[in-house]
């Protein structure tokens, strides 16, 4: 799928970007694989692992999604863009709302405009379960980003560029994940728990990369793809990460939900079951209902929430999952 293609990943030095690059280099032979990010130190460190010599497809491009001109240069002769750049730390976004808007909303617009102008064929953007009925500014900016990417297919019109999104749950082992925090806290004899009944969807970084790649292969433009994932109570996850360690309840933080949803009941009217995933289809006249002729619509009023999910991780399954990250 990516052989001979020029692929660019924004936020390429982040947790997802590094995992994406590693898997793509092992499996495919891209013509170019471009890491686009604003941190030159992280690019330097990544270059030590994935060199950009003459016989390598790797390229490192310093830039910020806030800069339309820089994006326009970076996306020249690019076939596929994976948009992973974002401000995603919830407290930081709450304290610095205009910064979150600049990156997570205006940055999305800049990616869309540059992709259309430069003739990029496919753009797939990473979203989050926090965009479903958002309760934080971060979730709200990601929801707006989804809306922008879906509607961008209308702006592209008869041109080649098509846009889709993936929306998934908590990534085990990613930067900012609670697991490294708990491991560090366990050294002092206690880990912090916000609420004993809190639940979350869980996915590993390799699984997230595989989901993005498979969604790229099947996208028509306009879909929000949602993987079928297992749920787990955070109290049980803490027991797996730090067994026999005291748990200190600190209360639910501002804007934090007890349970996360990846498809809301409102979205159910436009959601279809594709087997290993759901797809939220756009409610726009340009969308062809024949794109997935064998897809099964979900029931009206159905929602996909971490507390009512039918798939739950056992403690042993969670140990194996975490051990492989």
* 3-class state of residue 165 by DSSP: strand
What are the backbone angles phi and psi of residue 273, rounded to the nearest 5°? -95, 120
What distance lies between CA 7 and its chain's CA centroid?
A: 17
* 260, pLDDT greater than 70: yes
> Mean pLDDT throughout 32-43?
97
3-state secondary structure 102-136: HHHHHHHHHHHHHHHHHCCCEEEEEEEHHHCCCCC
What 8-state DSSP symbol labels residue 227?
E
The pLDDT of residue 106:
98
The pLDDT of residue 263:
98
What percentage of the chain exceeds 90 in pLDDT? 86
The residues annotated as belonging to the active site are: 130
Average pLDDT, the chain: 95
The pLDDT of residue 325:
61
Whether the model clears a pTM of 0.85, i.e. scores above it, the answer is yes
* 3-class state of residue 18 by DSSP: helix
Residue 162 half-sphere exposure toward CB, CA atoms < 13 A: 16
The confidence band for 69, taking pLDDT boundaries of 50, 70 and 90, is very high
* 5, pLDDT greater than 80: yes
> Mean pLDDT throughout 58-66?
98
> Mean pLDDT throughout 64-77?
98
* 173, pLDDT greater than 90: no
* Least confident range of 132-136, 166-170, 288-292: 288-292
* Least confident range of 33-42, 208-217, 243-252: 243-252
The pLDDT of residue 174:
78
* 248, pLDDT greater than 80: yes
Dihedral of CA atoms 7, 84, 134, 179 in degrees, nearest 10, equals 130
**How many Cβ atoms are within 10 Å of 224's Cβ, its own excluded?**
27
Could you report the per-residue pLDDT of 115-144, keeping only the tens digit for each?
999 999 999 999 999 999 999 999 999 999
The pLDDT of residue 13:
97
The pLDDT of residue 195:
93
Structure token pair of residue 34 = 């471009």
The confidence band for 322, taking pLDDT boundaries of 50, 70 and 90, is confident
The pLDDT of residue 324:
65
Q: Where are the domains of the chain?
A: 6-169+202-229+261-304
Could you report the per-residue pLDDT of 141-154, keeping only the tens digit for each?
999 999 999 999 99
- How is domain 6-169+202-229+261-304 classified at the architecture level of CATH? 3-Layer(aba) Sandwich (3.40)
The pLDDT of residue 18:
97
* 178, pLDDT greater than 90: no
């Amino acid at each position: 799928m990516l052989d001979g293609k020029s692929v660019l990943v924004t936020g390429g030095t982040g947790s997802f970007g590094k995992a994406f690059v590693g898997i793509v280099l092992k499996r495919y032979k891209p013509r170019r694989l471009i890491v686009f990010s604003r941190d030159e130190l992280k690019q330097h460190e990544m270059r030590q692992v994935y060199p950009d010599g003459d016989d390598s497809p790797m390229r490192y491009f310093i830039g910020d999604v806030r800069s339309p001109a820089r994006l326009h240069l970076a996306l020249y002769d690019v076939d596929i863009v994976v948009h992973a750049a974002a401000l995603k730390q919830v407290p930081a976004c709450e304290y610095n709302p205009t910064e979150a808007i600049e990156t997570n909303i205006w940055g999305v617009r800049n990616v869309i405009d540059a992709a259309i102008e430069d003739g990029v064929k496919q753009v797939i953007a990473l979203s989050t379960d926090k965009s479903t009925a958002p309760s934080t500014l971060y979730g709200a900016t990601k929801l707006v980003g989804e809306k922008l990417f879906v509607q961008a297919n209308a702006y592209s019109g008869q041109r080649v560029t098509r846009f889709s999104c993936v929306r998934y749950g908590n990534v085990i082992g990613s930067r900012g994940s609670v697991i490294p925090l708990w491991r560090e806290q366990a050294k002092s004899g206690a880990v912090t728990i916000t609420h004993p009944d809190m639940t979350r969807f869980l996915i590993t970084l390799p699984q997230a990369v595989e989901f993005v790649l498979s969604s790229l292969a099947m996208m028509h433009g306009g879909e929000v793809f949602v993987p079928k994932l297992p749920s787990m109570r955070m109290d049980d996850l803490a027991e797996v990460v730090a067994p026999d360690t005291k748990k200190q309840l600190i209360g639910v933080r501002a804007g934090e939900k007890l349970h996360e949803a990846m498809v809301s009941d409102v979205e159910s009217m436009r959601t279809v079951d594709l087997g290993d995933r759901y797809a939220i289809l756009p409610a726009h006249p340009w969308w062809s209902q024949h794109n997935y002729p064998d897809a099964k619509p979900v029931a009206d009023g159905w929602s996909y929430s971490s507390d009512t999910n039918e798939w739950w991780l056992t403690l042993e399954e969670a140990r194996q999952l975490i051990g492989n990250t």
